[in-house]
Structure 1
Amino acid sequence: MDRRSFLRTSALGGAAAASTTLAAPAYAQGNRTLTMVTSVPDGFAIFDDAAQLAADYITSATDGALTIQKMPAGSLVGAFEVFDAVSSGQADLYHSAEYYFLNQHPAFAFFTSVPFGMTGQELANWYYHRGGAEQHTELASLFNLKPFLCGNTAMQPGGWFNNEINSAEDLQGLRFRMPGQGGQVLGRLGASVQNIPGGEIYQALSSGQIDGAEWIGPFADERLGFQEVTSNYYTSGFHEPGSALALSFNLDVWESLSPAHQVIVEAACRATNATNLAMSLAENGAALARLQSAGVQTRQFPEDVWDAFGQASAEVREENMSDPIYADIANSYFESMRESAGWYEIADGEYMRQRNRVIG
């Protein structure tokens, strides 16, 4: 049995698989406007930048034959409703983070980020050269979707806290905003985890609804103004070492596109992925310096907190391994990560150590 057959007959079964049998609708020749729903408001640094860049690339490269109309969170559907809207055909495509959709299937986490997982570059290695893209396509097809990686935030900090975290006990009862498997890890450690859309985090933090939050990184966090509310910024996080964003088409809409337009869309997503990752890395250093000059205190978690994160992360991963789809993707993901990390450690890692020693 090939992987596609395996996936289609595994855990999801019936209703989800049936959605892939819908006949592709016929479209008239000529220019088309496709509706893209997103999970953030217009202008959100890094996240919306990727959505807008992909829309612009596709529209320009097709000379307007495919015009992408971007509908930000709340304008057509809510931030976390984009998956269902596109799967059902209410909208044509979405731009979002796949780990928002763990209720559809926990394996979607691997196409954003998982705790103690891949950096942005390692994720690209797996996705484009070790089968990740094919596994993403196979999983999403069960929900009548055709997906692509389309942006990357790079390393995400541990987040903003009203109070310092001096031990793992300080996580008990902490009201904290963190989605994905990272949020599940914090919950296992006693935190009260809130999965709040990006557009609502500032209000929740400033009103005291939550005690802390993570978002994307210095550049994006500064844009949202978290430094106006709290000054404790943990700059290294366990939860998202290289978080991918994704663009996903309704499968019927995708199959109605010409082969040339399909190639353009895929190329646009690859270009957005690389450009957005570079933007994240380029902007974060200067933004962090501005935050520090405004009085933000950068901090690191103590080692016992890191140990607690690690143990809980392993437990969260393991509890999903009985699902054959999840296990298949997880095994592929971590095999590729180990392969990449083995080279980076003896090549890039040693170079960085020596560069820092020689030139400071």
Structure 2
Amino acid sequence: MKRRQFLAAGAATAAAGGVAAPAIAQSMPEVKWRLTSGFPKSLDTIYGAAELFAKYVSEATDGKFQVQPFAAGEIVGTPQAIDAVANNTVEMAHTASYYYVGKDPTYGILTAAPFGLNTRQQNSWFYQNGGNELANEFYGKAGLYALPGGNTGTQMGGWFRKEIKTVDDLKGLKMRIAGIAGQVMQKLGVIPQQIPGGDIYPALERGTIDATEWVGPYDDEKLGFNKVAPFYYYPGWWEGGATIHFWFNKEKWNSLPKSYKAIAEAAAAYANIDMTAKYDAKNPGALRRLVGAGAQLRPFSQEIMEACYKAANEMYEETSAKNPDFKKIWDNMRAFRGEEYLWFQVAEYTYDNFMIRARARGG
């Protein structure tokens, strides 16, 4: 069965328990919403999730429920996206929670927590361990409701103009890095910078910054960072699985018919999985091209990883001591992480480790 047929069939059943489709279509109200994205159209993997959501919502309602996506800056810029939803300038947004860490650090860990969950664990936490309910308990205070709407997978550690071998090499380094990861890096002497995506390349080229993190090979290749910062580090320990959210004005969401809510939830869930699939399909080729063009892959040293892990845990303790919302969510996420890695080390890790070695032998 085609995806849109599945969505339409599911919506029909949810709306009327088997009432004939024409009767449902007649009772469906016309809803037209605007969605502001936190991303440019050039990032087809991320921005494309908003287009995919709009497509399936429209098709499943025979065009009765329409969502029109707008790229970052066309209505409001990325920093204003969720405020625009909260004050009903637009009904929806598609953006990363950690862009709003300045409002409250709790926003930061709901995209990705440094040394937190990987992609599968993140989805499991949101869908099966109450993560989405915890998130919306927090977001609801601002008049927002959110659904997971994409995951990039584990990100890269970023582009550096010089090699970073020891913790001392981080001191004084000016790095574009988002969210609470910047607070962690600051503990190690890094000077975090908040720079929009379109301004990163010239900042690196001029030496205004020494390093930047973005996403991974496919998106990074488009932005050309390898031309001005040759050292490409991994892993992005601050984003083991970065969740992008669809944000709704809470009152507008609550006013939707149950059938429309079900359709929106199904469309968001599909967009969530589709984004990860796209990155998994597109990153290998992009990485090959980047290395072929001269990018020098480097793992963060064990010394740096341990120092960052220690700094992250210090930050969690400090923030939890003064922010009950943060503590409630982080404690739940951390406990879930412990259980997940108990399982992952038995099956997932051993299987992947064997297959990676088999590949290296030419298998």
With normalisation by structure 2, the TM-score equals 0.88
Check if 1:275 corresponds to 2:262: no
Counterparts of 1:1-360 in structure 2, within 5 Å, are 30-322=29-321, 323-358=323-358, 360=361
Q: Give the CA deviation at 1:280.
A: 1.2
Q: Give the CA deviation at 1:200.
A: 2.4
CA distance in 2, matches of 1:55, 1:171: 43
CA distance in 1, matches of 2:292, 2:280: 20
After superposition, the Cα gap between the structure-2 partners of 1:271 and 1:102, relative to the gap in structure 1 and judged at 3 Å, is same
**Which one-letter code corresponds to 1:167 in the other structure?**
T
**Which one-letter code corresponds to 1:34 in the other structure?**
W
Cα deviations by residue, 1:321-342 (Å, 9 ceiling, x for unpaired): 1222111111111111111111
CA distance in 1, matches of 2:56, 2:175: 36
**Which one-letter code corresponds to 1:130 in the other structure?**
N
Q: Give the CA deviation at 1:358.
A: 4.6
After superposition, the Cα gap between the structure-2 partners of 1:77 and 1:356, relative to the gap in structure 1 and judged at 3 Å, is closer
CA distance in 1, matches of 2:134, 2:326: 10
Q: Give the CA deviation at 1:349.
A: 1.2
Aligned residues of 1:158 and 1:236 also touching (Cα < 8 A)? yes
Bigger mean CA deviation after superposition, 221-230 or 123-132: 221-230
Q: Which runs of no fewer than 5 residues in structure 2 stay unpaired?
A: 1-27
Partner of 1:19: none
CA distance in 2, matches of 1:30, 1:207: 53
After superposition, the Cα gap between the structure-2 partners of 1:55 and 1:138, relative to the gap in structure 1 and judged at 3 Å, is same
Aligned residues of 1:119 and 1:242 also touching (Cα < 8 A)? yes
Cα deviations by residue, 1:238-292 (Å, 9 ceiling, x for unpaired): 2111101001100111112111000011111111111111111121111100111
The alignment's C-alpha RMSD in Å is 1.6
How many residue pairs get matched? 333
Q: Give the CA deviation at 1:357.
A: 4.2
After superposition, the Cα gap between the structure-2 partners of 1:342 and 1:294, relative to the gap in structure 1 and judged at 3 Å, is same
**Which one-letter code corresponds to 1:313 in the other structure?**
A
CA distance in 1, matches of 2:91, 2:112: 25
CA distance in 2, matches of 1:53, 1:123: 21
CA distance in 1, matches of 2:69, 2:232: 32
Q: Give the CA deviation at 1:135.
A: 0.6
Q: Give the CA deviation at 1:148.
A: 0.5
Cα deviations by residue, 1:77-135 (Å, 9 ceiling, x for unpaired): 11111011111111111100001111222222222101111111010111111110111
CA distance in 1, matches of 2:147, 2:44: 20
Partner of 2:20: none
CA distance in 2, matches of 1:143, 1:201: 30
CA distance in 2, matches of 1:193, 1:342: 34
Question: What is the SS of the residue equivalent to 1:149?
Answer: strand
Q: Give the CA deviation at 1:170.
A: 1.1
Aligned residues of 1:159 and 1:237 also touching (Cα < 8 A)? yes
CA distance in 1, matches of 2:206, 2:152: 27
Aligned residues of 2:109 and 2:180 also touching (Cα < 8 A)? no
Q: Give the CA deviation at 1:32.
A: 2.5
After superposition, the Cα gap between the structure-2 partners of 1:221 and 1:104, relative to the gap in structure 1 and judged at 3 Å, is same
Q: Which runs of no fewer than 5 residues in structure 1 stay unpaired?
A: 1-28
